[in-house]
Structure 1
């Protein structure tokens, strides 16, 4: 009698790979302004600072050049938080004192990213033969 294999055949790539996958999904299109507040002396501030690092990545910033990302460094031992002001006028606040960077990214992708307008694909894939026939037809017209 054999035992069926269950679960994954490969090991997980870890937290860093999970963060990388979440960062690929992030878009700033629905956001008008992102305010990240933290106290550098708070115990849980490093995770919020890592989120700030990922949000200020140039590839993510290129998704919406009008979005303002502001880091407010406080000195009152207050809990770190992330505020996302939306283009529609709403606001999403994440209290990040007990959250990891991965969890903050997941929450952003769950509540903010779906609000982005859907882009329609305009590129038409052509085969090599179609491209050459199109080029030949344009040369004959000249």
Structure 2
């Protein structure tokens, strides 16, 4: 009598690959401004700084070059906060203007997952561009 095989046959990529996977999914098309407030001497500052780095990657910035990512460094032992202001089109559809994250006990992966869940889903959908084919392009394909 044999025991059936259960589980995965390969290992997961780990925490860094999960963070990079969620960073690739970020879409800032519906965002006007992101304000990050943190205390550099606080407990969870490393996780907050990691998320700020992921938000400033070139691929994420290309989704909305007009989005402003502003950091406020304070020295009052306050919790790290992410305040996301939405563009007017998304604001009207969603029914709210800002989204606030209190990141005191959240890891970088959890912050990015929440960002993808609540912000990326609000991004306006891209309309497919239909390419017109002419006689000359049809001849080139043959």
Smaller-chain TM-score bracket? 0.7 to 0.9
- CA–CA distance in structure 1, aligned partners of residues 125 and 119 of structure 2: 13
**1:69-108 alignment runs, 5 A limit:** 69-87=69-87, 88=91, 90-108=97-115
Match of 1:7 in 2: 7
Q: Which of the pair has more CA radius of gyration?
A: 1
Shift in Å, 1:118: 1.4
Instruction: Specify whether residues 72 and 9 from structure 1 end up closer, same or farther in structure 2 by C-alpha distance, changes over 3 A only.
Output: same
Gaps of 5+ in 2: none
Instruction: Specify whether residues 135 and 66 from structure 1 end up closer, same or farther in structure 2 by C-alpha distance, changes over 3 A only.
Output: same
User: How many residue pairs align between the two structures?
Assistant: 132
TM-score for the superposition, normalised by structure 2? 0.85
Shift in Å, 1:132: 7.8
TM-score for the superposition, normalised by structure 1? 0.85
**Runs ≥4 in structure 1, deviation > 4 angstroms?**
none
